[in-house]
Amino acid sequence: MNHSLSESEHKFQTISSFLSLGILSLGLQILFIRGLLEIFLGNELTLGLFLAVWMLGTALGSHGFSAIIEKYRLWTYLVISIFPVAVCEYVLIRFIPAIFNLTPGAAYQLVTITAAFLLTVLPVSLLCGALFTFNASQVLAGKLKSLAVPTVYVWESAGSLIIALLLNFILFQWITDIQILFLCLLLFYLAAGPVACRSRKLPLFSGVIGIYIVFSFVLFLKGNLIYRTVFKDLYAPYMLMEEKSTPYGRVRVMQLEDQQIVYHQGIVTYTSPDPVTAETGILLPVLSASKHQEILVLGGNLSEYLRYLGQVSGIRRITYLEKDPY
């Protein structure tokens, strides 16, 4: 520890690190759960499963994982690993439908949902749990008389409250999810970086923290452009026209030829032209997925629908239900 720091300076840095950890932890939870619920839709089961996996990860990270890190003195690598892991897991969520070959709007098995949550949520929650233990160890090592160990929970909770208020009333109104991700990482490394550097006096380590701060700032400013560039082919054959985050979920506008589709949290809320009329040029979004065997058509011009359904191989049965206008 750097003994040139006064107790008040040490206390300020330690409190800042817990605040930033609360911001990062809850920020990642919200971003990840919004992304996963967009894929698996939301009910009590998926929400409970997400929280269960997250709490399992933080418990394992703060106890067993942190013990391994302490044994081999790997705290340095823990702090610098949260950046690449968080970014990779955020990107991985976007590719979950392709990885598990998921059909939009279908009912998924519990095994599939659990596997997806473990793959995307567990690594980050492990690191967040271990980071809490690391910060607590700095309090004990510093022997701060004015900062009791139980109060660190209060400061982490305060950080969570701050990011929750910012997300709901400001951030979701003005910036995208990927920009929020890098903003949380930027705040974390600005606050926790000095504490970590003080515990491990390595020029290379300090350089990595500095690079992360610069990268987070640049990606925060240019995140939306990078997102559209990286994920432009993710929704093929549809083209991503616009995407906006709101406190109530993500709104996405897709286009294929003359058809435009508006999604809200992965659910189709509006299409133009109206698919009920089955106008020429319409390709139903569900047909972009594979392995359909049974199709249900509700109303509209059946002959026009059949022209597009004929493009899908493997269909065994088509059920047509005429809508009663009265």
Q: How far is CA 172 from CA 23, 118, 175, 253, in A?
A: 15, 26, 6, 17
Mean pLDDT of the 73-79 span: 76
Average pLDDT of span 31-39: 91
Write down the pLDDT at residue 2. Answer: 44
pLDDT (0 to 100) of residue 301: 61
Tell me, yes or no, if the pTM score tops 0.95. no
Residue 96, Ramachandran bin (φ over 0: left; ψ between -120 and 50: alpha; else beta): alpha
Lowest mean pLDDT among 119-128, 132-141, 171-180: 132-141
* Residue 308 vs residue 266, higher pLDDT: 266
**Per-residue tokens: 191:** 């606050």
Residues 269, 270, 272, CA angle at the centre, nearest 5°? 165
- Other beta carbons within 10 angstroms of residue 231's beta carbon come to 15
Domain spans in the chain, listed from the N-terminal domain onward: 7-230, 235-272, 281-326
Could you report the per-residue pLDDT of 192-240, keeping only the tens digit for each? 777 666 655 566 777 888 899 999 999 999 877 777 777 777 777 788 8
Least confident range from 24-33, 178-187, 224-233, 282-291: namely 282-291
Predicted confidence (pLDDT) per residue in 258-290, tens digit: 778 888 877 777 777 665 554 444 445 555 555
Q: For residue 267, which phi and psi values (nearest 5 degrees)?
A: -110, 135
Q: Which residues contact 71 (CB under 8 A, 6 or more apart)?
A: none
Q: Give me 281's structure tokens.
A: 């040029």
List CB contacts of 315: < 8 A, sequence separation 6 or more: 292, 293, 294, 295, 309
Fold of 7-230: Growth Hormone; Chain: A; (1.20.1250)
